[in-house]
Amino acid sequence: MIFQLDNKNIHASDAGQGLDVNRETIVFLHGSGLSHIVWSLTEQFFSNKNFNVLSIDLPGHGNSDGPCLDSIEKISEWLEQVFIKLNLKNLILIGHSQGCLEILEYSYKYKSRLKKLVFVGGSNKMPVHPDLIELAENGDSDAVKLMMKWGYEGSKKFIGGNPVEKIIQSPRDISEILAVDLNACNNYSNGLNAAKKIEVPSMLIFGELDKMVNLESGNKFSDLIKNSNTHVIKGCGHMIMIEKAFEMREKILEFLNK
């Protein structure tokens, strides 16, 4: 679906089902430099389970008009405007990586719409190595290669090729989208406070072999959130919704049905 916000086109996939105001709505939030495509193995599954689904392309990402928003705080405020525009309540937010920071800040500022939260491969703080930021700001393709090295379990190959490389394709994508996102993650500082303030049931999912958010960091994050539970997926890196989509979505469904 495409809708307008501040005279700009915003794209969000609803699995072709539209939005039923009588259903709970799952909102999927992608990670740095990515788009709604990373949730393609997940959104239809939940649509078939009687949920609304909405996988949003952030401004400047995927099929949404730019420019990108340059801070987690701005993104959380923009999300609230999206939910007002679409008249969405009873929200379940599911975020990956950067999307987890967006959930934290959104839940800190706007609690009334929320029912449950799911954090996938995230933490309350996500510092980015300065070498990666520099490569991204220069539009260097090595930035994407570094993400692959740090983000995936081993040298796993995917049918049809690596999906991240298909989304982040050009020097412009790297310098004007990925670099903006990485700086937003690196600069976000309210995660500790926001995590402690979460009141709704929450689930955290981590990859056993994730190098970006290792299990030590993940466990510290989970300890901050009351009324939360954690699931670790074995043999999995950072891109959980691509590497282990089937296990991830079954565990999330169990959590949502409690």
CB of 92 closer than 8 Å to CB of 118: yes
d(CA 194, CA 244): 28
Sheet holding 8-13, edge to edge: 2-5, 8-13, 52-56, 25-29, 91-96, 114-120, 202-207, 228-233
Any domain includes 166? no
228 occurs within a structural domain: yes
Split into its structural domains, the chain has a count of 1
Residue numbers of the domain that contains 53: 2-126+189-256
CA distance readout (Å), 145 to 2, 17, 120, 241: 32, 36, 21, 19
Closest among 251, 257, 213 to 231, alpha carbons compared: 251
In a domain, 134, yes or no: no
**What pLDDT, on the 0 to 100 scale, is given for residue 57?**
97
Please give the Cα distance from 115 to 159 (Å, whole number). Answer: 35
Q: Would the pLDDT of 192 be above 60?
A: yes
Whole-angstrom distance, CA of residue 199 vs CA of residue 72: 20
pLDDT value, residue 154? 54
**What's the token pair of residue 171?**
């020097």
With respect to residue 6, please indicate whether it lies within any of the assigned structural domains.
Answer: yes
State pLDDT tens for residues 96-145.
999 999 999 999 999 999 999 999 999 999 999 999 999 999 999 888 88
Compute the mean pLDDT over every residue in the chain, rounded to the nearest whole number. 91
The more confidently predicted of residues 59 and 239 is 59
Give how far Cα 94 sits from Cα of 30, 39, 134, 144, 252, Å. Answer: 9, 10, 29, 24, 9
Calpha distance 14→31 (Å, rounded): 18
Q: Is residue 132 part of a domain?
A: no
What is the amino acid identity at position 6? D
At 22-76, the pLDDT tens digits run 889 999 999 999 999 999 889 999 999 989 999 999 999 999 998 999 999 999 9
As a whole number of angstroms, the distance between CA 202 and CA 196 comes to 12
Do the domain assignments include residue 118? Answer: yes
**For residue 144, what pLDDT is reported?**
85
> 179 in a domain, yes or no?
no
Q: Which of 33-37, 162-166, 172-176, 196-200 has the lowest mean pLDDT?
A: 162-166
Determine the 3-state secondary structure of 122 from DSSP.
Answer: coil
**Looking at the predicted structure, is the pLDDT value of residue 247 above 80?**
yes
What is the CATH number for 229? 3.40.50.1820
Write down the pTM of the prediction.
Answer: 0.94
Calculate the alpha carbon distances from 174 to 108, 142, 162 in Å. Answer: 30, 10, 16
